[in-house]
Chain A
Amino acid sequence: MNIRSKWLLCGLMSAVFALGTSCSDDDVPAPSTVSEGKYSLGTSTDGVSYILSADDLSSGSVSPVGNGVEFGAAEFITSGNYIYFFSRSDKKFYQYELNADGSVTEKGALLLTQYITDRAYSQNLVDDNTILIIDPLVWGEPEVKWLTISLPDFVVSASGTATLPTVEKEPGVNWAVNVGNGRLHGNKFVMGSVLYDFDGNYADGSHAVVFDFPGMTNPSMISTDKMNGELGIFANNGEISTESGDLYFAARSGDIWGKPVKDGVHGALLRIKNGETDFDEDYLLDFTDQIGESANIRQIDYIGNGIAIAMLFDDTKVNGWGDLENDHYYFARVDLEAGTATKLNVPLSDASWARKPMVENGHYFTYLKSTTNNTTHVIDVDVSAGTYTQGVKVEGDNVQGYSITKHPEVIE
Chain B
Amino acid sequence: MREMVTSSYKSLFLFFLLTAGMSVLGFAQSGQIVGNVKDAKGEAVPFASVSIDAIALQVLTDLNGDFLINNVPEGEAEVTVRSIGFVDSKQSVLVVADKPTRLDVTLQEKVETLGETVVEVKTKATQKKEEAYAVEVIETKELQNREVNVNQLATQSAGIRVRESGGLGSKFTYSLNGMSGNAVRFFVDGVPIDRFGAGYSVNNFPVNLIDRIELYKGVVPPQFGSDALGGVINIISKKKYSNYLDASYSYGSFNTHRASVSTRLVNDSARYFVDFQGFYNYSDNDYKVWGKGVEVADPETGKAIEIETRRFHDAYRSLSGKLDFGLVDRKWADQFKIGVLYAGSHNELQHGATMASVIGEATQNSQSFSPTMSLSKKNAFVKGLDLNLYNSISWLSTETIDTSSRIYDWNGKVIFEHPTNSELGQGGNGKSMLTLNSLNNFHQLNLAYSWAEKNRLNFNYTLDAITRDGEDPLVGNRTATFREPQSMTKQVSSLAYERSSFEGKLDQTVWVKNYDFRVSTVDTEYITDSLGYRPIGVPIGNKMNRFGYGYAVKYKLKKRSLLKLSLEKCYRLPTAEEMLGDGLFLQNNPELMPEESWNLNVNWLLSGLPVGKSGHLSVEPSLFFRNTENLILYTVQNNVGMGHYQNIGKVRGMGGSLDIKYRYKNFLVLSGNATYQQMRDWMQYKGANLNQTYKDLLRNTPYLMANMSATVKQEGVFKDDDQVSLFWDVMYVHEFFLNWPSLGDPNTKSVIPTQLVNGAGVSYSFKSGKYNLSFSCNNLFNEQVYDNYLLQKPGRSFSTKLRVFLN
Contact = CB atoms under 8 A, between A and B. Distances in A.
Interface of A: 44-50, 63-74, 87-92, 108-115, 117-120, 135-136, 138-141, 145, 147, 149, 155-156, 196-200, 321, 373-375, 395-398
A398 B303 CA distance: 35
A168 B430 CA distance: 24
Contacts of B428: 117, 119, 136, 138
B6 interface: no
Contacts of B531: 198-200
A197 B532 CA distance: 7
Contacts of A115: 302, 416
A111 B528 contact: no
Contact of B304 (A73, A111, A140): A111
A50 B532 contact: no
| Chief secondary structure at chain B's binding surface | loop
B151 interface: no
B691 to A, nearest CB: 6
B743 A397 contact: no
A69 B745 contact: yes
A156 B301 contact: yes
A45 B41 CA distance: 62
5 contacts: A70-B748, A89-B636, A114-B415, A200-B528, A374-B688
A321 to B, nearest CB: 6
A110 B744 contact: no
Contacts of A63: 692
B419 interface: yes
Contacts of A74: 639
A200 B532 contact: yes
B692 A45 contact: yes
Contacts, number: 172
B92 interface: no
B13 interface: no
A89 B356 contact: yes
A136 B638 contact: no
Greatest chain B CB density within 10 A among A64, A90, A112 is at A90
B529 interface: yes
A49 B743 contact: no
Nearest to B789: A89
Contacts of B692: 45, 63-65, 395-397
B740 A48 contact: yes
B427 A118 contact: yes
A49 B638 contact: yes
A112 B356 CA distance: 11
Interface string B736-752: 00011011111011100
A92 B688 contact: no
A141 B419 CA distance: 8
B640 A88 contact: yes
A397 B686 contact: yes
Given A45-B692, A113-B416, A118 B426 contact: yes
Interface string B788-802: 000000000000000
Interface residues of B, number: 58
Max chain B Cβ within 10 angstroms of own Cβ: one of A49, A72, A140: A72
B295 interface: yes
Contacts of A396: 689, 692
Given A113-B409, A117-B427, A374-B686, A92 B532 contact: no
B29 interface: no
Given A49-B638, A196-B532, 5 more contacts: A70-B748, A91-B357, A110-B297, A110-B304, A145-B416
A75 to B, nearest CB: 10
Given A47-B637, A50-B743, A109 B358 contact: no
- Most chain B CB within 10 A, of A90, A113, A155, is at A113
B638 A48 contact: yes
B279 to A, nearest CB: 36
Nearest to B419: A141
Interface string B286-319: 0000000101110011111100000000000000
A190 B740 CA distance: 42
A135 B743 contact: no
A47 B739 CA distance: 10
A403 to B, nearest CB: 14
B687 interface: yes
9 pairs of A and B residues whose beta carbons are closest in the complex: A156-B302, A117-B427, A119-B427, A114-B415, A155-B301, A397-B686, A111-B304, A111-B297, A110-B302
A197 B428 CA distance: 15
A220 to B, nearest CB: 24
Contacts of A108: 303
Contact of B418 (A112, A141, A321): A141
A50 B303 CA distance: 24
B530 interface: yes
Interface string B6-42: 0000000000000000000000000000000000000
B763 interface: no
A374 B686 CA distance: 9
Contact of A66 (B530, B688, B746): B746
Contacts of A73: 638-639
B739 to A, nearest CB: 5
B420 A139 contact: yes
B303 A155 contact: yes
